[in-house]
Each structure stands twice: as structure tokens, then as C-alpha cells.
Amino acid sequence: MSRARADEEEYWHSSKFRAFTFDDEDDELSQLKESKRAVNSLRDIVDDDDDDLERVSWSGEPVGSISWSIKETASGSTSSLEGRDSSLQKGSSSCAAFPKPVSSYSLSSLFKGEDHHILYRQISFPSESLTDTGVKNYAPELRRPKAEYKDYTSDWSPKDTVRRMQRGKVCSLERFRSLQDKLVLLDEAVAGHDGNVITAVLIFLKRTLRREILFRELEVRQVALCHLIHFLRETGEQKFLLDLLRFLDRTEEVALSQYREHLNIQDVEKRREFLKGCIGLPFSAEDTSHIQDHYTLLERQIIIEANDRHLEMAGQSEIFRKYPRKASILNMPLVTTLFYSCFYHYTETEGTFSSPTNLKKTFKIPDKQYVLTALAARAKLRAWDDVDALLTTKNWLGYTKKKAPIGFHRIVEILQRNNAPVQVLQEYVRLVEDAETRLNLATKYKCHDVVIETYRDLKDRVQLIAYKCKVERGSAEEEKINSILNN
């Protein structure tokens, strides 16, 4: 019993643990000294100067080089970590020895990403062990993890590729090499109903397929064909578009595409010759007539422009001195040319090219269009006599009357926009057949005589009395209203 008690006393007295005391300052001081010694010992092992740390392995190759990295990668991360720990424990003055196992890995296998997780672990261990020394990478990072390149290198199916393109992902189409794969890709793009994806796939096929093969496959895929034709027209690839239309035997579209080229010709004489050559293209009968009129109109415009430029520069024409031309008439539409002719050449005989009647007869301009254009031109010049003559007709008995194919209410509006006097407006407001429309126009443009006469014809005494308050006192209109009311 005494022996057991003696062993127990020896155990407690020989323990490395100290009993609790109230002397805290001594205890904290001892712990601080112990921590300082541990830190200093760790700094001696790790945080040596760069010049003192040996950077050459046992094979004589610099640590951190590509060949050293490959050999280090071949060895397992566990063995390399154990070797490094053992070498570091020898002290700061000794060389950092690293094991050199025989490696079966090649440089190509490393760059292909094989077993890259081993390299990744090998690179990451310095940051785990040497945290307070600024993280030294003993094996440099040769490439990123393969997962980062998944969008570019993965073997996506055509359907997955189209879906990723619809979401805005970057996908390489170069891996679709066979014709079958490319057609499947195009069919999936069409099925996705996304115009941008369809156009992107068509651009890829246009670049990687022969024209004959592409045209043959697009002939049975009308949606993709329409997208390609629209794309070619927008980008101006005229030669490729014409080849496609000829392959499809669309002769009229080929002719129209060739005719469209005249828009790119700036020189007037060259454009005229080009239009002359377009007349023989295989257009429909209606389109051929339009092309012929276009050529004839440009030919007339060239003649009129040359003559008027000479008259304007010579100062021989009063109208050109009073109203100088603001723009050339070349390449203008037919209606603009007719307005120009009615403005500057209204009195010329039908035998001249610039005569309005000649233009009307040559291009078969309808009466309604001719009257509307001529009325606007002559009203702008405030030639009210010409306006009256334009709207006056004779019957077979020699009687004259006013006639307007566009309606007198429109004539009144045109005259009012050109600041026609009230006397002229009243003359044509009276010719409006509908009484309500006539009253509205007369009231709007203050044609008092027409309003009074209309109320008189309607025998509306109440409205006459009400309208009497709207005219000036003592004016001729008030006297006229009083005369009608008294009778």
C-alpha cells in the first residue's frame, strides 16, 4: 500500500504539467518565451534569404524549370511532400534536396492535361506549408485547369451547340467537319427558330462548303435559303447572290438584282447606258415597261438639266432669275420632274421635252395626278389665272364650267396652303357640293359670303342671327345679313 502511494507521488512530481498557481505573470512570460523560440526556429527553417536557398536539384537542373516540373509531377504528391519536409528539417545551411524518381510522363502528356490534378496538387502545397514567406511556387503553373476551357474544347452535339449559341455562349463550329454533321447542325439551327443562330451557321457553311454543294442542300431547305439570300443582299455580296439565284433558276430575281446595281453608279451617263442594257434582261412584261420608262425619264432629265443650266447661267430667263433652282433634276422621280416642269416650263408647247403635257403623254400620267401636281406648282407661283384655266373645261356646246378630278375641297386646301386670297378661296368653296363640308370650310377660312349664302339657301334664320354676332359691326357682311333677314 505504501509502495503504491510512493509510485503515485513520483508520477505527480515527475509530470511535465505544472500545478495551478496565482503567479500568472511568470506563467505568461514563460509561454511567450516558448512561442518566440518556436517562431525563431520556424524562421530559421523556412524564411532564409533567397541567396542561401539552394535552387538546384540532385540532377543538376534548376528548380522550377519545365523539365524539373515534369519530373516532379510524375512523382506522387505524397512522396514529394515527404521528401521536401525531410530536406527542410536538415537546417537552413543544407541544400534543399528533392527526390528524383524515374518518370514515365512526357512533355506532351503534361500539356494535353493528363493527370493535371497531380500537377495541381503539386503546385498548391507551398502555399499550405510556407504561408508566411510569400508563397513560392516550386512548380510553375503551365496551363489552366481543363474545366475552364470546356466551352471551347468539349465535344458538344449539334443540338447542344445550337442551344449554347442561343444562350450567347461561344462555341467553335470547326469540329463539324463532315457534310452530314454540318447539315444536322443547320437543321437544328432552323428548328430553334433563332435568326442569328441560323445566319451564323450559314456563314460557317458558306465558308467551308463548295458553292454547288451548298446550293443543292439549301434548295430543299427554304427557311435557311431565305436567310442566306437576305444576308447576301444586306452585305452586298452581289456575285455570290447572282450565282445562287441562277442555280435556283430564278431568272426574274437575277434580273432585278442586276437592275439594283444602278443605284451604285454615280455618273449619269454610265447609269443611262446601264439602264439601256437592263431593258433586255428577262423581266416580266410589267417590269420591262417600268425599266423602259426609267431609261426614258433619265434621258429626258439629262436634256432638261443641260438646257436649264445654260439658261440659268446666261440669265436669259426671268423665272430662273426670280426663282433660282435649289437642286438638280437628275435622278429625280417622275412626279418631281412633272412638278419641276410645271413650275419652270408650264407654257411650253407639247413638242418640247420639258413641256408638262409632253411628260403627261409620254409617261401616261393620270389626270388626277397631273391636276394635283400642276395645281401645287402654279399655286406656289401664285399664278391664279393658270389655276382657273387648269380647272375650267368646255362642253361640246361651248359652255365652260369648273371641274376638278380631285374634288374642290382638296383644291381649297391646296390654295389655302399657298396663301391664296379670300376672293380666290370663296370662288372654289362655293363649288363644294356638300353643304356641311362647304360650311365647315367657309367658317374655317373666314369666307363670310359663302357662310351667309349657305344659311340663306338653307333658310336657317337662327344661324344667320348667330353668325351676325361673329362679323364686324358696320361691315358689308353685316349689311348683307340684315338685308336677308328683313326680306
The tens digit of pLDDT for each residue in 111-127 reads 444 444 443 334 333 43
Higher-confidence position of 210 and 102: 210
Q: What is the pLDDT of residue 14?
A: 61
Q: What is the pLDDT of residue 179?
A: 92
Give percent of the chain above pLDDT 70: 68
Q: What secondary structure, in 3-state letters, does the chain show?
A: CHHHHHHHHHHHHHCCCCCCCCCHHHHHHHHHHHHHHHHHHHHHHCCCCCCCCCCECCCCCECCCHHHHHHHHHCCHHHHHHHHHHHHCCCCCCCCCCCCCCCCCCHHHHHCCCCHHHHHHHHHHHHHHCHHHCCCCCCCCCCCCHHHHHHHHCCCCHHHHHHHHHCCCCCCCCCCCCHHHHHHHHHHHHHCCCHHHHHHHHHHHHHHCCHHHHHHHHCCCHHHHHHHHHHHHHHCCHHHHHHHHHHCCCHHHHHHHHHHHHHHCCCHHHHHHHHHHHCCCCCCHHHHHHHHHHHHHHHHHHHHHHHHHHHHHHCCCHHHHHCCCCCCCCCCCHHHHHHHHHHHCCCCCCCCCCCHHHHHHHHCCCHHHHHHHHHHHHHHCCCHHHHHHHCEEECCCCCEEECCCCCHHHHHHHHHHCCCCHHHHHHHHCCCCCHHHHHHHHHHCCCHHHHHHHHHHHCCHHHHHHHHCCCCCCCHHHHHHHHHHHC
Q: Quick one: cell of 337?
A: 420632274
Average pLDDT over residues 81-92: 44
Query: CA–CA separation, 216 vs 431, rounded Å?
Result: 66
Q: What is the pLDDT of residue 249?
A: 86
Among candidate residues 97, 98, 96, the one with its CA nearest the CA of residue 52: 96
Q: Is pLDDT of 459 > 90?
A: no
Sequence-separated (6 or more) residues with CB below 8 Å from residue 2: none
Q: How would residue 480 be classed by pLDDT, with cut points 50, 70 and 90?
A: confident
Lowest mean pLDDT among 25-34, 79-88, 295-304, 448-457: 79-88
Q: Under a CB-based contact definition with an 8 Å cutoff, are residues 462 and 472 in contact?
A: no
Q: Is pLDDT of 25 > 70?
A: no
The tens digit of pLDDT for each residue in 341-394 reads 999 999 998 889 999 999 999 999 999 999 999 999 999 999 999 999 998 888
Average pLDDT over residues 398-419: 87
The tens digit of pLDDT for each residue in 349-363 reads 888 999 999 999 999
Q: What is the pLDDT of residue 34?
A: 62
Q: Under a CB-based contact definition with an 8 Å cutoff, are residues 342 and 374 in contact?
A: yes
Q: What is the pLDDT of residue 101?
A: 44
Q: What is the pTM of this model?
A: 0.58
The tens digit of pLDDT for each residue in 304-338 reads 999 999 988 888 788 898 999 988 999 999 999 99
The tens digit of pLDDT for each residue in 213-235 reads 999 999 999 999 999 999 998 88
Q: What is the CA 364 to chain-centroid distance, rounded?
A: 41
Q: Is pLDDT of 52 > 70?
A: no
The tens digit of pLDDT for each residue in 231-266 reads 998 888 888 988 898 898 888 888 888 888 888 888
Average per-residue pLDDT for the chain: 76
Q: How would residue 283 be classed by pLDDT, with cut points 50, 70 and 90?
A: confident
Q: Under a CB-based contact definition with an 8 Å cutoff, are residues 98 and 84 in contact?
A: yes
The tens digit of pLDDT for each residue in 119-178 reads 333 433 343 443 444 444 444 444 545 444 544 445 788 888 888 888 888 888 888 889
